[in-house]
A and B are shown apart, each in its own frame.
Chain A
Amino acid sequence: MSQNRPRYKDILKRKKDWPIVNLSQNKKPFLDEVSRHVFTNLTQDNGRKTLHEELETTIYREKQRVINNPWRVDPKDDLTFWKRIQKKQLAIKESKDRLTIEKEILKEIIDRYCEEIVGNFNKSSYRFAKRITTFGFARLLNAARVKGFNSIFSRQLDLQDQIHVVGEPDQLRKLAKIGTIVLVPTHFSNLDSILIGWVIQFLGLPPFIYGAGLNLFNIKILAYFMNSLGAYKLDRRKKNPIYLETLKEYSKRALEWGCHSLFFPGGTRSRSGQIENSLKLGLLGTAIEAQRSLISDHGKQAKPIFIVPVVINYQFTLEAPSLINEHLKRTGRERYYRESDAFSNSKKITTFLMKFFTKKSDISVSIGRGLDVLGNYVDDQGQSLDQQGAVVDIKDYFLSNGKVNVDKQREHTYVQILSKKIISEYYKNNRVYSSHLVAFTAFKMLERKNSKLDLYSILRLSEDDLTLDYEAFKINFKKLRGIILVLNEQGKVDVNDKLKNTIDESIIYGLNNIGMYHAKRPLIKSKDQILILNASTLYYYHNRLEGYGLEKHI
């Protein structure tokens, strides 16, 4: 119950001490610093194309983007800007100071990108957004669940009844006082960023900055939240090296400035429903680079950077049907009807939130143990520990002959080490709910029953073939549950308490929760049979338990 749970005090009382406030107050010098370094990196790096070619392709692609794929959030002067830049570039040919002008153009583009990326954190709207997420949601929740809308000011229920923060929140708070935190959550739903935003303030941490897909800023309600929660903008349409370098430098410098950051290292939402098994290395790499820079600039006084893996455990994903369709379309041959994205407008989100708070479905957020940038566990004092538990000095990872040196290839390898560790932490902290296990059991049984068919044919099976005998289902469920509990004892996976109930209770709980927000429930029980009503959504939820080798036991 809520009264037994801890209330966390803010670790930094005064808002002016928040690194993000410092950053937003010093936006100009910060951006200058970013821009200057990007410029140096790009003009030094002779490994690839010449500056001339780089500019030519970038400008061409940007113009194409503006014409063919404009978004509402794009700056009004997008086309004029790129036209002007192109004109300037085309004029170079006759000029003698070619390189100087090219560098000028480069600088102009970098500065523009900096302005596009930069977040608009604002103290007062942060306060408002924070109130919305806690107060607003909590009131809504009360009203709907306890006594109807008249009880809107009741204090009986709270958001934390709905969202369980488990794992190592206390260590996270300690580490946030010692160093700079990089939270790396799994990513299943667009709701994740708001949810994490809530967790961050619930734990009394100052706001984090994070890169949010620019597409989300198209939706007003999300844009408002994200701006006020410290988001900077990440435009996936822009894949040119100048943009990517600017983005990385932005992230790296912000970390050096001590801004706690949030990366979704899987890149976009997991389309298949499976836990991330490969991570985007670019942003993670900035944490390693930032740590090295800090050590090289400040020696022993350098602030440590901590990586904290977070697993968000839902029993449902609002977007599941459209995500899995996208996934199947990508991997398979089936023709799928394009469904509209469940998060495409503000109304849909509001409807969803209403559903979410009126029907009961647990969400848990597992805060993993803190890691250093090499993936070693850190203790509560922020010291890195090797596999034997001995203290390691993080500085030593960046030394060669006693000096800190820059070795891009080395750091690239370090990112791979770190990302492997994060993935293994995800698997460990993944919390198994009954709903995941009913989905897994049912889908694997369906596969066994139709072992001659490939995935796509299974998903196309007719209604009559989509039934399972309940008793057989129960036997398999029990067997797999036993294995999951063993894995749990070995520390290889986390489980929800309800999974430990009697088999029948556990199955009923699972069936009641699986896909409860979808128009069509994927799985129901009817007399002595289990009926599969939506095989692809079932497949999505079943994927959550892939990667543990459970299929061997069914």
Chain B
Amino acid sequence: MALKNTYKVTVGVIGTGNFGTALANLLAEKCHRVLLYARSKQKALQLNQTRKNGYHNIADNVKIITDVSFLAEKCNLIFPIVPSINFREMMKNLSPYLKPYHVLIHGTKGFDFNKSNKSSNPLKESIIQIFTMSEVIRQESSVVRIGCIAGPNLSKEIASKMPAASVIASEFDEVINLGQKYLKSDRFLVFGSNDLMSTELCGILKNIIAVGAGTIEGMKLGENAKALFITRGMVEMVEITKAMGGQVEPFLGLAGIGDLIATCSSNLSRNYTVGVRLANGEKLSEIIHSMREVAEGIKTIDIIHEWSINNPIRIPITETLYKIIHEEITVEEAHTYMMKFPFTSEIKFLN
């Protein structure tokens, strides 16, 4: 390809999951060298020997490493792509080597949280504090130039070199520009947005809806029902985001509706698959056990449920999914409940 190895830079990717690997390969097309950090030495060894990771063939200029200080030293631009549950720990390890000039663009679509219970809290409130990954980066390191990458990016399609696009959101134009420079190619478009938090929320909350859409598919309720569900799901996502202080705009873009369409209709989506299997009568614990990677949506449902206790907004979809995954109701009962739910006006958030 004409564009190959255009820039003499070394960029880093943290996490050898599907998206991390896909992203490393995309970067490898434009950058001289990509360092892909693997947490376990064993995994690194295996990747180095086979130069394969699942369905990905790892590009030649992607180097697998396990030394986090080396990563921080060589790369000013790093993409952390690890599950939300490990994110803070990863940042704690990385943080001592990070400087304020580092640029971090994360691709993690989940929340970090901190829960204090009633007895330990002098104000006698049960409080869950939730953080997006950019907030975790701010809390754990001196890095300020932070961005996120979001959009309909099913890893398998990217690995098969099919066309796709993403949004890079950051308060800093230079972060967006860097991301575009090193990722944009003939088959991968990169848009920019300055609304980091809302874009992160798009990616996170969409996973809830993906689980739900999967249950509709699993019950074979048809495309009308699924469209109905996705649309109402999007409204709920926006309501939550607004209650958290975010904006509507990103929801109309790739990170919002774009990602929603892709994840709510493809078997390549983990969260969607969880939904399908739940509708087919499998238990959540079995499903999770059998999956190679984390389905962020399940954790997000729990977190949003907890958050809503102190935030009086109506979130019928999330609440219903919460009951399903905690086996309080069956998928069928949930369906009946949702069809009877007294939704009032269709869209209120634009006023």
Which positions in A face B, CB cutoff 8 Å?
374, 376, 386-388, 390, 392-393, 396-397, 399-401, 407, 409-410, 413-414, 416-417, 483, 486, 489-490
Contact = CB atoms under 8 A, between A and B. Distances in A.
Nearest to A402: B101
Given A396-B100, A410-B172, A388 B144 contact: no
Contacts of A401: 76
A411 to B, nearest CB: 10
B100 A397 contact: yes
A388 B95 contact: yes
Interface string B84-95: 000000000001
A409 B144 CA distance: 13
5 contacts: A376-B142, A387-B138, A388-B140, A413-B144, A413-B171
B162 interface: no
A343 B122 CA distance: 44
B182 to A, nearest CB: 13
Contact of B99 (A396, A410, A416, A490): A396
A414 B145 CA distance: 10
Interface string B173-191: 1100000000000000000
Contact of B172 (A376, A392, A396, A413): A413
A416 B96 CA distance: 25
B123 interface: yes
A400 B123 contact: no
Q: State which size class the interface on B falls in.
A: 10 to 19
Interface string B230-246: 00000000000000000
Contact of A409 (B95, B141, B173): B173
A392 B174 contact: no
Contacts of A417: 144
Contacts of B142: 376, 386-387, 390, 392, 396
Given A387-B139, A397-B144, A409 B174 contact: yes
B101 A399 contact: yes
Contacts of B145: 410
Contacts of A396: 99-101, 142
Nearest to B175: A410
Interface in B90-128: 95-96, 99-101, 122-123
Nearest to B141: A386
Contact of A486 (B76, B99, B122, B173): B122
Contacts of A392: 99-100, 142
A330 B120 CA distance: 44
A148 to B, nearest CB: 50
B99 A393 contact: yes
A407 B101 CA distance: 13
Nearest to A417: B144
Interface string B54-66: 0000000000000
Contacts of B138: 387
A490 B120 CA distance: 13
A407 B174 CA distance: 8
Nearest to B101: A399
A374, A376, A388 pick with most chain B CB within 10 angstroms? A388
Contacts of A374: 100, 144
Contacts of B141: 386, 388
Contacts of A400: 101, 174
A392 B141 CA distance: 10
Nearest to B171: A413
B101 to A, nearest CB: 4
B136 to A, nearest CB: 11
Contacts of B95: 388, 390
Contacts of B172: 409-410, 413
